């Protein structure tokens, strides 16, 4: 079985939280390809979080690991649990970046 490789600001070993599930997804799965959209983001699925953090880092021009880890922490601890889509999580993070405790 081929391992899925995701390039970006951070990789799997850089993630702050270590309790993710790592279910292999197809390379063209919309949850780990393209732009953040209405797809739901599973906050405990490692490949989805890794893709999303790297994609948001790229889009928002946060090109360093500390900003990527801040995104990961915000998703886990600050984004309201009633916000599920990648698009809405992206908007919430952008709107609350300067208010974050991280």
What DSSP letter does each residue of 66-78 carry, written as one string? HHHHHHHHHHHHT
Q: Distance between CA atoms of 70 and 39, rounded to whole angstroms?
A: 22
Q: What's the pLDDT score for residue 31?
A: 57
**In-domain check, residue 67:** yes
| Residue 1 located in a structural domain | no
- Is 92 inside a domain boundary? yes
**Residues 48/55, Cβ–Cβ less than 8 Å:** no
Structural domain range at position 70? 12-99
Number of domains in the chain: 1
For residue 64, is it within any domain? yes
Model pLDDT for residues 13-44, shown as the tens digit of each residue: 999 999 999 987 666 565 555 677 788 999 99
Model pLDDT, residue 1: 39
Q: What is the pTM of this model?
A: 0.84
The least confident of 21-30, 35-44, 56-65, 78-87 is 21-30
Residue 7 lies in a domain: no
Radius of gyration for the alpha carbons in the chain, expressed in angstroms and rounded: 13
């Amino acid at each position: 079985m081929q391992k899925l490789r995701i390039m970006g600001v951070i990789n799997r070993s850089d993630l702050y939280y270590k309790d993710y599930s790592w279910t292999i997804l197809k390379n063209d799965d919309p949850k780990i390809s393209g732009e953040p959209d209405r797809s739901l983001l599973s906050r405990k699925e490692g490949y989805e979080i890794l893709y999303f953090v790297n994609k948001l880092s790229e889009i928002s021009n946060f090109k360093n690991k500390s900003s990527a880890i801040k995104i990961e922490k915000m998703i886990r601890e600050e984004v309201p649990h009633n916000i599920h889509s990648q698009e809405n999580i992206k908007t919430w993070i952008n709107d609350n970046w300067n208010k974050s405790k991280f």
